[in-house]
C-alpha cells in the first residue's frame, strides 16, 4: 500500500509493479518497503464493489441486445423476400382474433 504524504490516504495495490511504477513516476529512486501485509493469494481483499459500474454495464448490454434485435429486424424488412401487409388488414385480423377469444370466454 502507498500512503499519500499530505492526506494520509491509503492506496492498496494487488500488483506491486503498479505501486513501483507510481513511485518511479514521482521521481523517487528508493524507499522503505514492506510486504508484511501483502497477500498475493487473496486478490479480492480490498476490491471495492462498484454498483454504479455494474448498473451501467447491464444497461449497456441491454442496449446492445436491443440494437442487435433491431438490426436483425431491419435486415429482415429490407430483404427482397420480405412480405408486406397493409396495416388495416393486420389490425382487422387482430380484432377478429380478439373477438373470437372473447366470444369463446363469454360462452363458458
DSSP assignments along 3-68, one per residue: E-TTT--EE--SSHHHHHHHHHHTT--------TT--TT-TTSSPPP-HHHHHHHHHHHHHHHHHH
Residue 26 clears pLDDT 70, i.e. is over it: yes
Say yes or no to pLDDT of 4 above 70: no
pLDDT band, residue 52 (cuts 50/70/90):
confident
85-94 confidence digits (pLDDT tens): 999 999 999 9
| Mean pLDDT taken over the chain | 82
Average pLDDT on 32-56 reads 73
Amino acid at each position: 500500500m502507498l500512503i499519500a504524504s499530505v492526506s494520509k490516504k491509503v492506496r492498496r495495490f494487488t500488483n506491486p509493479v503498479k505501486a513501483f511504477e507510481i513511485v518511479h513516476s514521482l521521481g523517487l529512486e528508493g524507499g522503505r518497503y514492506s510486504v508484511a501485509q501483502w497477500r498475493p493469494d487473496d486478490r479480492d481483499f480490498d476490491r471495492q464493489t462498484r454498483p454504479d459500474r455494474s448498473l451501467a454495464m447491464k444497461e449497456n448490454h441491454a442496449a446492445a441486445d436491443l440494437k442487435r434485435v433491431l438490426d436483425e429486424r431491419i435486415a429482415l424488412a429490407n430483404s427482397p423476400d420480405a412480405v408486406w401487409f397493409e396495416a388495416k388488414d393486420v389490425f382487422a385480423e387482430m380484432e377478429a382474433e380478439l373477438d373470437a377469444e372473447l366470444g369463446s370466454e363469454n360462452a363458458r
